[in-house]
Structure 1
């Protein structure tokens, strides 16, 4: 098929829904669903490769009703609304398709089918071969000697003979065929009980719909009666299924069919979007194609030499400073040669020790038996001395993998002075893990001067920070993957069984690449970023290591009691659910719950979220909507909450107690949240619930040993205080400086009453407003939180901003700055990137604007608590105290304090924590301190 004579038309709306139901639920790093978009783009990619063409278009349905609704009010009335997961993808997809070089048409008042029908007719009249890609059977009516249908999912191609073979009728009879059967999907009425076989039989006998209608009296039996009953509406059904081929497209196609010329992809913009959406394979393939050839067909179509060169040069990384060419970063230069050696002989090890004694900086990495650092045993140690030069010392491989290796204890004994030498600078990747591994052997890893993971986190908090990804992004190199050596799943082998030559390349690469990346990233930091890196993130990593190492004591007996009580409560809730439903059922079965709530009990479903299959969802949000009016949803919510508490904490925490220490040792993740907040796992301390009595009770199990107490120091309303500083609002600043109850003050301002007359309910409203607005909450969110109507919520917000005009100015100013720069900053210079701040998708952009408002507050709060951790730890160490930091949760520090030091610690903590801003804030920082035998008692 000649490209110059082909018009390729794509039913974009059909593609979108088919991809949505066919693809796995993929998401971008920011949480946006991407599966349907990926599926559509992938189908377009295959289509463009399979069908040569010079003219093309992707057509989507316009929003709202079309002319068929005027003909028949119930047209498509039975179609479920677009799933929530699909809506943002549907809004973003047309822009992505345009960037790929496809003309896109969205024409109001008609359907995509009508636009395609019109273009197919015009193309055929101009002598073009027309290929229509769709899965819609209605399109078969367009087929003729110049128009062919293709289905990329099934691989089916339909010409005139193909339509006849598939449907049993000619293309010119498809409308008659569809009118007789009707269309349940579009709610087009047909003849009751008339299926494909009956429709074909009638059309074979009478030739057309009109012929069938004219001879209806001859058709006997029940189906004949149904036909006669449908005679009045059949002409309407015929009109509804008829695709228009005369849509006026002059506005959309100013140059006629020439407007549909295949276009060159916008590679610079596509690369950014692929990066943001995490479509990494396409980005890599595109880059490889550009390096291979300077012209010809590329991933999604042909591109000119200039655009190919631009793509080949780029490494997408939005909004970075010190970048060159197209605002995209260079990769670090590679060494001319590599020198990776396995150290298996005494002479080699002696030479390595000599090099260590002369070095001032090394990179170090460990290979171990476990991802759990507290239990990990050494398999090998890699050390990089400079770019491209590294050594691997195997000490725990199997005899088969490494017939010759040095003695573990001898190696550690001779390495220990160098590892503990603070003057020998150590670089690595997530060195906190390696610290634990060496600590398992009684070695303190001192002199930590850099960490590639943390350097990346400072520069690009919104991207990934694994060594594989960093190597690809900053070195332009692929790493040897762990799975490549050890395999996956049940057949995975231990690293100790990896052959020494393969292990050497892998381990040396880890140390060498970490050294290169850390140096390269540090050179790209601003002075403020270097200070944050060296004075905050690296010292915090040391504090976290010590906290993880110390762990926290857990009262197993207390958790056993709580688990038993929760089990009894769950049994009782199950009984209540059965009684309320009038039958037993599986409380964890969405299908059974859906049937009971909406079929048996008849709860109205209007406005409730639907699942991808069109049923009513029974997720937490839906149940919370129903709970105020119906008892069963409330019972189910209680059941789910207690079941999660039991399985996640009261049952699980005892299993996490380290038998060697008798404590739980969480792992803090430092490079996860873009705001700088810490995360924790095994257990997740950040998510222990505090809003319910049962949730708060879990904290009773976090105890101190005999002779010590738990002390909690929690910043009071820290984000609101930061808001007051950032906005400069005089009323807020005054309230905090005077030590007022800020929620009472807000209630007084919003409700127009003296502070002393503010009631509990008014204060609750004000608290919700105060915290809601700093998270970018709008009137609908506020209405839902307070249980009021939207107009009342809007009035509250209007009154708030009228009383606090500085806050409104800050929000508007921040959104504008974020849109201009692509990021916002904390008070200490941490950059928080917002990839969606300029998104064409309105929902994505609105979410980014909300994040822009809150991120400087949450990010500054994170910076402050990190500074507090460092200062408190340094004070405890410098004064020789025995008390220790054991946990950090949100804005709270938790310490294990020996009783003889209690008064000193309680007095000193708020003093230290109040000064960590260095006088930068225009409001005072206040830390509230409590103590008790357990964590709950300290509040």
Structure 2
């Protein structure tokens, strides 16, 4: 037992910036971008509530920077001169944040002319001198200089703890040397000069070698190399830098903290519930209002509601999962989890009790712990479940470290769980459910009944934010947790999960299931309120199922064909090297920019196209392409690079990536990545195989079907142009597609003032570039560069285009204005694509955002259409029990493995199904090809 007291100091300025950047763009009036911003306020409430729950303290304070200059500005007028001004949407939330933090029971401090760090430093040292334990909650590494045996920094956003050992491990120097360390590296954010080109590693090395900054300065003449010269040139600036980075611990806080040095003026107060309710109502925080009201619900009513929830399914409404939540449910969902109850299942009696809970639950969150991130080979180490906020259970199954306790046998556990897992009526929830589906499938279990995925909920609601569970929990719940690295370590020292202590593994996995359920209860009501977003979410859920099937099917690879291609590429690469040597007149490293520069500009006298930031002539890709127009050596180097990448990335590796169990390549499709809704493919990336060169196209010859089957490839024809016609409603474009004419020839006839039959191939090529270029918001300069013509001529073509297609111009103007007003654009089906810099970016970035506003609805709608097609086709294949398998989705294309008996059906039905997934103002057209391999089919 100890009577030692604790002081908790919160770096409020660090918190509010984190809250602002982490939270979605919430408004007091949802959906109205002109109403007051509230995201930072809500984030601050979440973070402060979670901190209070996690850290017990006798005294506390939340410290904010005061407006205006500080004493450091007097010392150094350029201090923080590089910092961007505070965003207006954050500035407007500062006063309400101060108010609500006080209402939550925290003493709030802002001291004029003094930075928050200095107030924290002063209070920390005052408390430490009295033997009080001090915990500072902040993500600011600069505060590490305060750490000693009584003062610890915690960063709840990433679970980091900076005590003496933590600071030393993170920065390479102990806290006592942190001021010296910060002085040497400087601070670009605060515009504090350090030693030029000296980073953390060099600073730590010097300080450990010489013992202190003062000793280093005294022996500066001994420091060798360019770094030593930079040090000597910076010696005059170091005293000021040290003064600027040193946190003051002697500020006069009298008048701001009552009774100092006593800490009784910083009591931890109770939340002022009566005042919080109108505050929450004012800013539209309905769930927080309900949370306050829930505190007034009698315990017997909560118990009664729990009994109702546990009633048999026969006594419940069949559609209850998707009903509007009851008032009590909403109150429970809004209330923060406390008194966490996590079970570790080591006995069959515990297992049976939890299985009964799963059978009775309306919705269960599941999380698997596995042996690998590769979903096709991952095996289960343990499984966790949560059916009620704050409660979860972990079943350890294959932990195998020394002295690991006996665990329930995995085969029997999975056999007893299998009926529940494969029951579609038992609704389940997960974070990235596609991965867990594969993991269970590796054990012979085809999970049914996945109703929700929190990763996809976040992706639909807040596409520009991170969608990992830890980010979601921090952002929406104010909850932080254990990281995987905390358990398993990093890099070469990382241990497999099976070697993690079961008690720690249980807490980690239970926390994941519990947080997943908690996040779902926050995000799902938001999706229910928005019909169009609800549609997109269901599309993503259905797509997840279809993609699981595609990934599971995989695609057969012809390894001998790839080996032959690799041999041919290797021969050509060697020949290109020799040809390059002959042109240069000497051997050189074709991958070395320095050697290429010497050959180009010193020996051969090629013109300098542009320079690097250091002033040297550039040899980047753009420069090589420009020089290749007139000189043979750059062309050889470009060809060499392209073939080397093709060989290294595809022909050498694809065969090695085949799963030894299936003999097929199983790519991973990531849904929650591209803001437009497009999928990304990796391990291997099947979407970036270059097809503009003969060698690149040949790679597709190695994607084959087994004996008795063929490959079929179906894709949409000119899909984004058709979407442009639909969205813009331009009569000429609509007529061209409705009449089935060649739209590029029709555009050429309009732009060049001729009849379609008189359009030359060159004019049609120009029209094609114009059609697709304008979709991407291409300027006259970009068009001129693309076509190799004068900018004035390109501007003339664009003017003529808009004169002939006025609806397109109107659309472009209107969608940019819509984006400025709303902060986002939408696809035809309602997917939202947020453009954060449409109003707040600088010139070039704002222009880029305007181009995105024009193009994103088309790219996004194309992504929605191919997902609708993927889902529809897979459903029909299942309904008709077809043997045809969908094996790839690449851009606007679906690829199939088709038994010869179903070729005629596929040729007819797949294009019909794809064309019929949506009714636009112009007909959708899908075309299909069939062949022995992907290249011949496409």
Would you call these one fold, judging by a TM-score over 0.5? yes
**1:589 maps to 2:588:** no
Between the aligned partners of 1:399 and 1:410, the Cα distance in structure 2 is 21
SS at match of 1:659: coil
Aligned mate of 1:375, from 374, 377, 386: 377
- What residue number does 2:557 align with? 554
**Aligned CA distance change for structure 1 residues 854 and 398 (closer, same or farther; 3 Å):** same
Which runs of structure 2 are paired with 1:71-90 in the superposition (5 Å)?
Answer: none
After superposition, what is the alpha-carbon deviation per residue over 1:492-521, rounded to whole angstroms, capped at 9, x for unaligned? 111111111110110001111111112211
**Aligned CA distance change for structure 1 residues 922 and 589 (closer, same or farther; 3 Å):** same
**Aligned CA distance change for structure 1 residues 97 and 515 (closer, same or farther; 3 Å):** closer
SS at match of 1:838: helix
Q: CA deviation at 1:871?
A: 0.5
SS at match of 1:515: helix
- What residue number does 2:630 align with? 629
Check the 8 A contact 2:456/2:537 in 1, yes or no.
no
Q: CA deviation at 1:761?
A: 1.2
TM-score by length of 1: 0.67
- What residue number does 2:512 align with? 510
Q: CA deviation at 1:527?
A: 3.4
Aligned mate of 1:387, from 373, 376, 389: 389
Aligned mate of 1:449, from 447, 451, 461: 451
SS at match of 1:862: helix
After superposition, what is the alpha-carbon deviation per residue over 1:717-763, rounded to whole angstroms, capped at 9, x for unaligned? 00000001111111100000000111111111111111111111111
**1:791 maps to 2:792:** yes
Between the aligned partners of 2:465 and 2:603, the Cα distance in structure 1 is 48
Between the aligned partners of 2:727 and 2:75, the Cα distance in structure 1 is 54
**1:538 maps to 2:538:** no
- What residue number does 2:849 align with? 848
Between the aligned partners of 1:886 and 1:705, the Cα distance in structure 2 is 13
**Aligned CA distance change for structure 1 residues 401 and 807 (closer, same or farther; 3 Å):** farther
- What residue number does 2:99 align with? none
Aligned mate of 2:606, from 603, 607, 611: 603
Aligned mate of 1:334, from 312, 317, 336: 336
Check the 8 A contact 1:454/1:533 in 2, yes or no.
no
Q: CA deviation at 1:534?
A: 4.9
- What residue number does 1:360 align with? 362
Check the 8 A contact 2:481/2:511 in 1, yes or no.
yes
Aligned mate of 2:531, from 518, 528, 539: 528
Between the aligned partners of 1:509 and 1:294, the Cα distance in structure 2 is 38
SS at match of 1:909: helix
Q: CA deviation at 1:342?
A: 0.6
Check the 8 A contact 1:712/1:895 in 2, yes or no.
yes
Deviates more, 1:891-900 or 1:780-789: 780-789
Q: CA deviation at 1:404?
A: 2.6
SS at match of 1:687: coil
SS at match of 1:604: coil
- What residue number does 2:649 align with? 648
**1:923 maps to 2:926:** no
**1:574 maps to 2:552:** no
Q: CA deviation at 1:402?
A: 3.3
Check the 8 A contact 2:533/2:830 in 1, yes or no.
no
Which runs of structure 2 are paired with 1:310-349 in the superposition (5 Å)?
Answer: 333-349=335-351
**Aligned CA distance change for structure 1 residues 294 and 690 (closer, same or farther; 3 Å):** farther
Check the 8 A contact 1:746/1:766 in 2, yes or no.
yes
Asked which structure has the greater CA Rg, the reply is 1
**Aligned CA distance change for structure 1 residues 552 and 840 (closer, same or farther; 3 Å):** closer
Between the aligned partners of 1:661 and 1:785, the Cα distance in structure 2 is 45
Between the aligned partners of 1:838 and 1:457, the Cα distance in structure 2 is 23
Q: CA deviation at 1:530?
A: 5.0
Between the aligned partners of 1:647 and 1:776, the Cα distance in structure 2 is 35
After superposition, what is the alpha-carbon deviation per residue over 1:839-894, rounded to whole angstroms, capped at 9, x for unaligned? 24111111111111000000001001000001000001101110011000000000
Between the aligned partners of 1:321 and 1:763, the Cα distance in structure 2 is 55
- What residue number does 2:911 align with? 910
- What residue number does 1:438 align with? 440
Between the aligned partners of 1:669 and 1:339, the Cα distance in structure 2 is 34
- What residue number does 2:782 align with? 781
Q: CA deviation at 1:100?
A: 11
- What residue number does 2:934 align with? 935
- What residue number does 1:141 align with? none
Check the 8 A contact 2:430/2:452 in 1, yes or no.
yes
Aligned mate of 2:427, from 425, 428, 447: 425
Q: CA deviation at 1:603?
A: 1.4
Check the 8 A contact 2:401/2:500 in 1, yes or no.
no
SS at match of 2:820: helix
Check the 8 A contact 1:455/1:533 in 2, yes or no.
no
Q: CA deviation at 1:901?
A: 0.6
**Aligned CA distance change for structure 1 residues 150 and 351 (closer, same or farther; 3 Å):** closer
Between the aligned partners of 2:564 and 2:284, the Cα distance in structure 1 is 56
TM-score by length of 2: 0.67
- What residue number does 1:470 align with? 472
What residue ranges of structure 1 are gaps of 5+ in the alignment? 1-28, 30-44, 62-89, 102-148, 157-161, 167-195, 197-292, 296-308, 314-319
Q: CA deviation at 1:701?
A: 0.5
Q: CA deviation at 1:611?
A: 2.2
- What residue number does 2:496 align with? 494
Check the 8 A contact 1:333/1:475 in 2, yes or no.
no
**Aligned CA distance change for structure 1 residues 472 and 581 (closer, same or farther; 3 Å):** same
Check the 8 A contact 1:559/1:698 in 2, yes or no.
yes
- What residue number does 2:114 align with? none
After superposition, what is the alpha-carbon deviation per residue over 1:755-795, rounded to whole angstroms, capped at 9, x for unaligned? 11111111111111111110111111111111112111111
- What residue number does 1:8 align with? none
Between the aligned partners of 1:399 and 1:498, the Cα distance in structure 2 is 7
- What residue number does 1:75 align with? none
After superposition, what is the alpha-carbon deviation per residue over 1:366-411, rounded to whole angstroms, capped at 9, x for unaligned? 0000000110011000011111111000001015363131100010
**Aligned CA distance change for structure 1 residues 294 and 715 (closer, same or farther; 3 Å):** farther
Check the 8 A contact 1:597/1:603 in 2, yes or no.
yes
Check the 8 A contact 2:536/2:830 in 1, yes or no.
no
Check the 8 A contact 1:401/1:500 in 2, yes or no.
no
Q: CA deviation at 1:472?
A: 0.9
**Aligned CA distance change for structure 1 residues 905 and 820 (closer, same or farther; 3 Å):** same
**Aligned CA distance change for structure 1 residues 885 and 100 (closer, same or farther; 3 Å):** closer
- What residue number does 1:415 align with? 417
Count of aligned pairs: 658
SS at match of 1:869: helix
Between the aligned partners of 1:602 and 1:59, the Cα distance in structure 2 is 46
SS at match of 2:606: coil
After superposition, what is the alpha-carbon deviation per residue over 1:251-285, rounded to whole angstroms, capped at 9, x for unaligned? xxxxxxxxxxxxxxxxxxxxxxxxxxxxxxxxxxx
| Aligned Cα root-mean-square deviation (Å) | 3.1
Between the aligned partners of 1:802 and 1:717, the Cα distance in structure 2 is 22
Between the aligned partners of 1:524 and 1:734, the Cα distance in structure 2 is 40
Which runs of structure 2 are paired with 1:606-755 in the superposition (5 Å)?
Answer: 607-608=609-610, 610-755=611-756
Q: CA deviation at 1:351?
A: 1.1
What residue ranges of structure 2 are gaps of 5+ in the alignment? 1-23, 25-64, 92-190, 204-213, 219-232, 234-255, 259-271, 277-282, 289-330
- What residue number does 1:768 align with? 769
- What residue number does 2:138 align with? none
Check the 8 A contact 1:401/1:497 in 2, yes or no.
no
